[in-house]
Amino acid sequence: MFTRPSLGLAEIAWRWSIGFAAVSLLTACVIEYLDTLPVTNGDILFLRSRQPALISQAFAHILRGSSMRLVEAFAVVAIALAVAWIVVGSYGRVATLESLLAHFRNQQNEAPPRGLWSWTREIRSLIGLNFLRVAAAVAALVGCVGALLIAAAASPDRDPSPGSAFFIFLLTSMLVWIAWSGVNWFLSLAAVFVVTEGKDPFGAVASAAELCRREAGSVFAAGTWFGLAHVVAFFVATSIVAFPFAFIGVLPGAIVLGGVLLVTLLYFAAADFLYVGRLGAYVAILELPDVSVAPPPPPVPLWPAGNQHSATMIEPSESVDKSETILSDPALS
pLDDT digits (tens), the chain, 333 positions: 566 777 778 888 888 888 898 888 888 888 888 777 777 787 777 778 777 777 787 777 777 766 777 788 888 888 999 999 999 888 888 888 888 877 776 755 554 555 555 577 888 889 999 999 999 999 999 999 988 888 888 877 777 777 888 888 899 999 999 999 989 998 988 888 888 888 888 888 888 888 888 888 888 888 888 889 889 988 988 888 877 777 777 778 788 888 888 888 898 988 888 888 888 888 888 877 654 445 556 665 555 555 544 444 444 455 555 555 554 554 544
**Which residues, including other chains, have CB under 8 Å from residue 13's CB and lie 6 or more apart?**
92
State how far the Cα of 63 lies from the Cα of 39, in Å rounded to an integer. 9
Instruction: Please tell me whether residues 48 and 135 are part of one structural domain.
Output: no
- Residue 209 lies inside a defined structural domain of this protein: yes
Burial category of 79 from C-beta neighbours within 10 Å (exposed 0-12, middle 13-18, buried 19 and up)? exposed
Question: Do 241 and 172 lie in a common domain?
Answer: no
Q: Is residue 294 in a domain? A: no
With contact defined as beta carbons under 8 Å apart, do 100 and 280 qualify?
yes
Judge if 142 and 100 occupy the same domain.
no
204 and 225 housed in the same domain = no
46: exposed, middle or buried (Cβ count in 10 Å: 0-12, 13-18, 19+)? buried
Q: What is the reported pLDDT for 276?
A: 87
Expressed as residue numbers, the domain containing 20 is 1-118
Structural domain count of the chain: 3
According to the model, what pLDDT value does residue 140 have?
A: 93
Co-location of 99 and 25 in the same domain: yes
**Cβ neighbours of residue 61 under 8 Å, at least 6 residues apart?**
40, 42, 43
Q: Would residue 193 count as lying in a domain? A: yes
**Does residue 315 fall inside a structural domain?**
no
Q: Please indicate, yes or no, whether residues 240 and 284 belong to a single structural domain of this protein.
A: yes
State which of 185, 213, 241 marks the end of a domain.
Answer: 213
3 in any annotated domain: yes
Domain identity same for 154 and 142: yes
pLDDT in tens, 50-109: 777 777 877 777 777 667 777 888 888 889 999 999 998 888 888 888 888 777 767 555
Residue 317 lies in a domain: no
Residues 48 and 103 in one domain: yes
What is the predicted pLDDT for the residue at 13?
86
Same domain, 11 and 66: yes
Please tell me the predicted confidence (pLDDT) of residue 325.
Answer: 54
Q: Which of 198, 213, 228 is the last residue of a domain?
A: 213
pTM: 0.72
The pLDDT score that the predictor gives to residue 293 is 46
Q: Answer yes or no: do 4 and 96 share one domain.
A: yes
**Domain identity same for 226 and 280:** yes
Q: Give the residue from 12, 4, 14 showing the smallest Cα distance to 116.
A: 14
Best CA proximity match to 11, nearest among 79, 83, 100: 100
* Whether residues 184 and 107 fall in one domain: no
Residue 298 lies in a domain: no
Last residue of a domain, one of 118, 140, 168: 118
Question: Does residue 333 sit within a domain?
Answer: no
The CA distance from 188 to 182, in Å, is 10
